[in-house]
Amino acid sequence: RKAVYKVFANSGEQPETYYALLQLDGDEMGAWLSGEHAAAYQDYFHRQLRAQFDRASDPLAQLARMQRLVTPAYHMSISAALNQFALHIAPAIVQQAYSGQLIYAGGDDVLAMLPTADALAVALRLQQAYRGEDGFSLQPRGIDLTGGNGFVWQQGQLVQVMGTKATVSAGLVIAHHKAPLGWVLRQVRAAEAAAKEAGRNRLNITLIKRAGTITRLTLKWSEVEQFEQLRDLLSAEQVSRRAAYNLNNWLKDMPDDMDALKTLIAYQMRRQGVDAGEAKDMAAWLVEGVSTRQESGQNGLDWLKDVLIVAEFLARDTRSGGE
């Protein structure tokens, strides 16, 4: 410990005092095992042949549209996909591509301890790899692991995963290193449960500051990359450190009209040093999130406030002391 602190003292930097715990779990595994989500026979055909069956109505076409029977081979394929994910893919993401430590990986369950700076990226990459999403790749980080069409390629070999019909939910807790670990573990389980209760296929981020305040934010996986962009935008050198704080102060006076809200958010971001084009794009994304939540009966402005709080915290170069 003394040697580590000496390194920081010589560099003039402060050690990170917050860390992240991530718990990820596959959605509706019971339904998968019972065959409720089994693919139709025609899903295994070439796309041109599938198109012909889609247009046909004869008995053979009707048979092709039936779900695949639940057989031992079907269960074995699920088991093989989950084993590959737990034994090979999750460790490659958490411990090789990033600087995390895998605590547990069993089937569709993952528990990992991560540096705060890596936490969002690891959560998103695990979700993408679990489904074999198009565009997933760890090659920029020196790991030969890519995805697409519901599969993963690892070191040139095709690896079966659950496919793009499958989804996962995850809880991510960011906590001070002095917080009791048992309590933080309970919080990460609660965060994962909150992601599932919000509709599954989501990430719940729970930020627990040393001062005692807790902020809970739930994002759809499709929103995580844009949220990372907001974090990066707030960390830019020309942007005021108080940008998120000032935006939150203005929220109480923001209009209910979504177009006016978008215009005002973009204006306030520009005042804090954000590039005009980036401010416009980010305001559009934030207002879309507000509108989506309000349409589903949630408080969109509360969500926006939580987005800004968590993004600002993650944008800091170092999270230390009693913050």
Instruction: For Cα atoms 203, 205, 206, give the angle at the middle one, nearest 5 degrees.
Output: 145
Q: How confident is the model at residue 162 (pLDDT cuts 50, 70, 90)?
A: very high
| pTM (two decimals) | 0.89
Kindly state the tokens that stand for 134.
Answer: 């198009």
φ, ψ for residue 277 (rounded to 5)?
-65, -45
For 71, half-sphere exposure in the C-beta direction (CA atoms, 13 angstrom radius) is 5
Query: Which helix H or strand E contains 172, and what residues bound it?
Result: strand 168-176
245 band by pLDDT with thresholds 50, 70 and 90: confident
Query: In Å, what is the CA distance from 68 to each residue of 42, 56, 62, 92, 165?
Result: 9, 19, 13, 32, 15
What sign does the dihedral 137-25-222-245 (CA atoms) show? Answer: negative
Listed in sequence order, the residues at least 6 apart from 231 whose beta carbon sits closer than 8 Å to its beta carbon are: 120, 311, 314, 315
Q: Which of 174, 292, 280 is nearest to 233 (CA)?
A: 280
* Mean pLDDT score, 97-105: 96
pLDDT band at 13 (very low <50, low <70, confident <90, very high): low
Q: What is the DSSP letter of 101?
A: E
Provide the token pair at 293: 């939540």
Give the residue from 316, 285, 317 showing the smallest Cα distance to 303. 285
pLDDT digits (tens, 9 = 90+) for 263-279: 989 998 999 999 999 99
At the topology level of CATH, where does 16-28+74-207 sit?
Answer: Alpha-Beta Plaits (3.30.70)
What mean pLDDT do residues 100-118 have?
A: 96
Mean pLDDT rounded to a whole number for the chain: 90
Cα of first residue to Cα of last residue in the chain, in angstroms, is: 22
